[in-house]
């Protein structure tokens, strides 16, 4: 930029310098500003510039044109561009003490080793519209020369000579050891030390100034007191425990919730280091490191987790949040530390994760296939059990409808059932249909569906399906067997050989017996290999499967387990030759809505359920690895 070499003296500015620029053109101000700021950035100083938005925008452009990465140095905190209100407060009520405190706080940052010193400049054109504050400005400029942090600062104040009164500009010369007129810098022989300058101010002006200062100070104290009371009232109503710490991490105060939560009192809390509280539960190196950076670095942290066995209240999980605040004296920097007891929430989250894992495990290992359809009937989820039940990989179904895999002859009924479910949300729809596997085989599938599209927790149509092919085939075999038994008539002996042969052909194995009720007597045809025969029981109740004949309205199979075998001649003759305990499987033979016979087995191995019935039992029992007497053998 042209003109930068015209002010080489500016490069000799050092901490403790207080300069004033009186400029006649915007270009003069801009060139001096850029040169002053660039020098500070190159020296590793903390740099601040105060001006109106249009001035700041031009400064950004000027520094960028000089090769400065403005965004980077602003992110690092080395460069700060601020509006006048952020430093000088309200122009109409300019508070010189607050402004000096701003520079004092900023001057402390270099002392932490980040920057060598503070370099700040400000365009004072904001004061042109408020002549009433000019007297305060002169006092402010004089006080800058002796405020405590002056030896850590290089300060430049810029005044538009075209707008400020000449008498005011003359007084400005008395308050600055060095002055720039335009772009020329001068050692100011008219400079007057601040004490002498303030004593020689016009007495009436000084009196008015002091009175106004007293009024302003009282107003400020009242505002601080009101704000403090307001803040304390808010803090005391906060439900979470709160601590206020000084920069050395000693407890300044705590709210009621803190004392109530940890069951302590102010005497054992206030004035102590946070690490000394309780049983030193807060003495955590990583927490100490975070807290020690809050004040100097103006940092904050959130959700720092502490899991500890606290005195009086037991084990708790606490989440800590901290940030910097200012105390009642304005310059005092404090730390507000809030604590949230997340014990119950963490436990609930853990229980929720456990239940989700539990149900996910159930779904993934279920014998039934579980899928979810969207409003268009396309799969949006398929459980891993789809692989076992339907033969497809779960991801192969996603984005496709189940109707694409159904037998064309079954499709109309399935579509009608699906539409009923869509029209009646929350109702269960049941359908049996054929489903094509990847190898082209058709399997018989039983499906249950429920429309939960309106449920925000589901948002889909739930389908549960199982492969019932074997069950259907077994039912067909049993129905065929039933018809065969009903056709035998009363002469069992004459038809015994054909009955045994038919059983073996239909079932692929042997049955233990066939029981038939005739005139209050029970006929038993035993078909076990090598023991074929025909028995009559005068007392039908001796037969283990007698409940099948009593439950005329409940034609379900009978499954009994762990029965004790009869002794001597009493009891069921089919169980007489069994072991000491045996089980019983019985299937009812029906005609015209009544049970007229039963097909029983008496295996010696105990069954899992005791005195139960099942709708899904009518399967031919699988062979045991070690065949025992009484079990029917299944032919290959």
For residue 328, pLDDT beyond 80: no
- For residue 564 the two structure tokens come to 């004790």
- The four Cα atoms 318, 321, 327, 332 give a dihedral, to 10 degrees, of 110
Q: What is the DSSP letter of 519?
A: T
Q: Name the CATH code of domain 472-613 (choices 3.30.450, 3.40.50, 3.30.300, 1.10.540).
A: 3.30.450
Provide the CB-side half-sphere exposure for 210 (13 A, CA). 8
CA dihedral over 320, 323, 327, 333, signed as positive or negative: positive
Q: How far apart are CA 293 and CA 346, in angstroms?
A: 28
For residue 40, pLDDT beyond 50: yes
Do 172 and 158 touch, CB atoms closer than 8 A?
A: no
Does domain 368-467 match CATH 3.30.420.140?
A: no
For residue 629, pLDDT beyond 50: no
- For residue 80 the two structure tokens come to 């700060």
Other residues' Cβ atoms within 10 Å of the Cβ of residue 7: 17
Residue 372: pLDDT band (50, 70, 90) is very high
Average pLDDT over residues 149-174: 90
Nearest to residue 53, comparing CAs of 87, 24, 82? 82
Most confident of 75-84, 105-114, 521-530: 75-84
Q: 102-106, 228-232, 416-420, 432-436: lowest mean pLDDT where?
A: 228-232
CA angle 194, 80, 71 (to 5 degrees): 160
pLDDT for position 11 = 80
Report the DSSP pairing between strands 178-181 and 379-382: unpaired
Helix (H, G, I), strand (E, B) or coil at 376: coil
> Between these two residues, 480 and 460, which has the higher pLDDT value?
460
CATH number of 238-346: 3.30.450.20
pLDDT for position 21 = 93
For residue 33, pLDDT beyond 90: yes
Average pLDDT over the chain, rounded to an integer: 79
Burial class of 486 by CB neighbour count within 10 A (0 to 12, 13 to 18, 19+): middle
Q: How far apart are CA 449 and CA 426, in angstroms?
A: 9
Question: Which residues, 6 or more positions from 292, have their beta carbon under 8 angstroms from its beta carbon?
Answer: 249
pLDDT for position 395 = 92
CA distance to 51, 73, 147, 152, per residue, from 55 (Å): 6, 18, 28, 26
Q: What is the distance, to the nearest Å, from the Cα of residue 412 to the centroid of all Cα atoms in its chain?
A: 45
CA distance to 383, 385, 403, 451, 537, per residue, from 367 (Å): 11, 7, 22, 22, 43
pLDDT for position 365 = 64
Asked, colleague to colleague, whether 4-201 and 368-467 share their fold, the answer is no
Helices 26-42 and 53-65, axial angle in degrees (round to 10) = 60
Residue 400: pLDDT band (50, 70, 90) is very high
Residue 342: pLDDT band (50, 70, 90) is confident
Burial class of 543 by CB neighbour count within 10 A (0 to 12, 13 to 18, 19+): buried
Nearest to residue 245, comparing CAs of 178, 320, 167, 195? 320
Residue 228: pLDDT band (50, 70, 90) is low
What percent of the chain has a predicted confidence (pLDDT) above 70?
75
Q: How far apart are CA 104 and CA 326, in angstroms?
A: 14
> Between these two residues, 587 and 73, which has the higher pLDDT value?
73
For residue 606, pLDDT beyond 60: no
- pTM higher than 0.85: no
Helices 134-144 and 96-108, axial angle in degrees (round to 10) = 30
Average pLDDT over residues 394-403: 93
Nearest to residue 155, comparing CAs of 111, 117, 127, 112? 117
Average pLDDT over residues 534-548: 80
Do 466 and 446 touch, CB atoms closer than 8 A?
A: yes
For residue 614, pLDDT beyond 60: no
For residue 613, pLDDT beyond 50: no
- Give me the residue spans of the domains in the chain: 4-201, 238-346, 368-467, 472-613
- For residue 30 the two structure tokens come to 């801009």
pLDDT for position 225 = 67
In the block, which residue shows the tokens 């105990």? 606
pLDDT for position 380 = 93
Nearest to residue 304, comparing CAs of 294, 314, 312? 294
Q: Name the CATH code of domain 4-201 (choices 3.30.70.20, 3.40.50.300, 3.30.56.10, 3.30.70.260).
A: 3.40.50.300
Q: Quickly list DSSP for 213-262.
A: HHHHHHHHHHHHHHHHHHHHHHHHH-SS-EEEE-TT-BEEEE-HHHHHHH
Q: 313-322, 390-399, 449-458: lowest mean pLDDT where?
A: 313-322
Residue 626: pLDDT band (50, 70, 90) is very low
Q: What is the DSSP letter of 273?
A: B
Q: 89-98, 367-376, 410-419, 596-605: lowest mean pLDDT where?
A: 596-605
For residue 506, pLDDT beyond 90: no
Average pLDDT over residues 408-429: 92
Average pLDDT over residues 2-24: 76
Helix (H, G, I), strand (E, B) or coil at 632: coil
> Between these two residues, 238 and 274, which has the higher pLDDT value?
274
């Amino acid at each position: 930029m042209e003109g930068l070499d015209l002010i080489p003296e500016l490069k000799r500015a050092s901490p403790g310098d207080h300069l004033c620029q009186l400029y006649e053109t915007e270009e003069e101000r801009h060139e001096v500003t850029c040169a002053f700021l660039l020098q500070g950035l190159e020296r590793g100083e903390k740099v601040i510039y105060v001006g109106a938005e249009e001035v700041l925008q031009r400064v950004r452009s000027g520094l960028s044109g000089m090769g400065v990465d403005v965004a980077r140095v602003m992110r690092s905190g080395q460069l700060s561009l601020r509006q006048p209100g952020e430093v000088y407060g309200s122009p109409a009520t300019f508070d010189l003490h607050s402004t000096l405190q701003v520079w004092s706080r900023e001057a402390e940052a270099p002392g932490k080793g980040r920057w060598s010193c503070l370099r700040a400049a400000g365009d004072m054109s904001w004061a042109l519209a408020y002549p009433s504050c000019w007297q305060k400005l002169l006092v402010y400029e004089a006080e800058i020369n002796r405020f405590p942090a002056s030896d850590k600062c290089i300060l430049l104040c810029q005044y538009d000579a075209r707008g400020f009164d000449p008498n005011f500009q003359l007084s400005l010369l008395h308050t600055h050891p060095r002055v720039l007129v335009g772009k020329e810098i001068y050692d100011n022989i008219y400079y007057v030390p601040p004490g002498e300058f303030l004593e020689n101010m016009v007495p009436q002006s000084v009196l008015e100034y002091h009175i106004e200062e007293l009024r302003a100070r009282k107003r400020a104290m009242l505002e601080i007191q009101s704000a403090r009371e307001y803040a304390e009232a808010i803090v005391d109503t906060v439900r979470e425990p709160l601590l206020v710490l000084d920069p050395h991490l000693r407890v300044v105060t705590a709210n009621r919730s803190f004392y109530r939560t940890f069951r302590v009192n102010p005497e054992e809390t206030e004035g102590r280091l946070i690490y000394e509280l309780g049983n030193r539960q807060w003495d955590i190196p990583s927490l100490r490191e975070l807290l020690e950076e809050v004040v100097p670095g103006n940092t904050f942290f959130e959700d720092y987790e502490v899991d500890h066995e606290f005195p009086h209240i037991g084990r708790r999980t606490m989440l800590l949040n901290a940030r910097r605040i200012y105390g009642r004296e304005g310059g005092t920097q404090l730390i507000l530390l809030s604590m949230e007891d997340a014990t119950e929430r963490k436990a609930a989250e853990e229980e929720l994760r456990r239940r989700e894992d539990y149900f996910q495990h159930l779904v993934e290992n279920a014998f039934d296939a579980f899928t979810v359809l969207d409003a268009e009937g396309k799969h949006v989820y398929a459980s891993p059990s789809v692989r076992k039940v339907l033969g497809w990989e779960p991801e192969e179904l996603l984005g496709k409808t189940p109707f694409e895999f159904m037998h064309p002859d079954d499709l109309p009924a399935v579509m009608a059932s699906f539409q009923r479910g869509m029209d009646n949300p929350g109702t269960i729809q049941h359908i049996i249909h054929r489903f094509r596997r990847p190898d082209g085989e058709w399997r018989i599938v039983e499906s249950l569906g429920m429309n939960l599209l309106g449920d925000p927790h589901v948002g889909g149509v739930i389908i549960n399906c199982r492969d019932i092919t074997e069950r259907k085939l077994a039912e067909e075999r049993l129905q065929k067997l039933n018809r065969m038994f009903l056709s035998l008539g009363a002469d069992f002996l004459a038809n015994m050989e054909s009955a045994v042969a038919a059983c073996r052909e239909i079932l692929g194995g042997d049955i233990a017996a066939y029981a038939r009720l005739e005139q209050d007597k029970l006929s038993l045809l035993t078909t076990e290999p090598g023991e074929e025969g025909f028995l009559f029981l005068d007392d039908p109740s001796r037969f283990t499967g007698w409940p099948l004949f009593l439950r005329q309205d409940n034609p379900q199979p009978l499954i009994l387990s762990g029965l004790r075998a009869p002794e001597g001649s009493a009891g069921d003759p089919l169980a007489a030759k069994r072991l000491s305990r045996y089980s019983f499987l019985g299937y009812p033979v029906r005609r015209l809505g009544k049970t007229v016979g039963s097909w029983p087995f008496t295996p010696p191995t105990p069954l899992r359920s005791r005195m139960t019935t099942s709708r899904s039992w009518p399967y031919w029992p699988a062979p045991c690895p070690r065949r025992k007497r009484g079990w029917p053998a299944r032919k290959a």
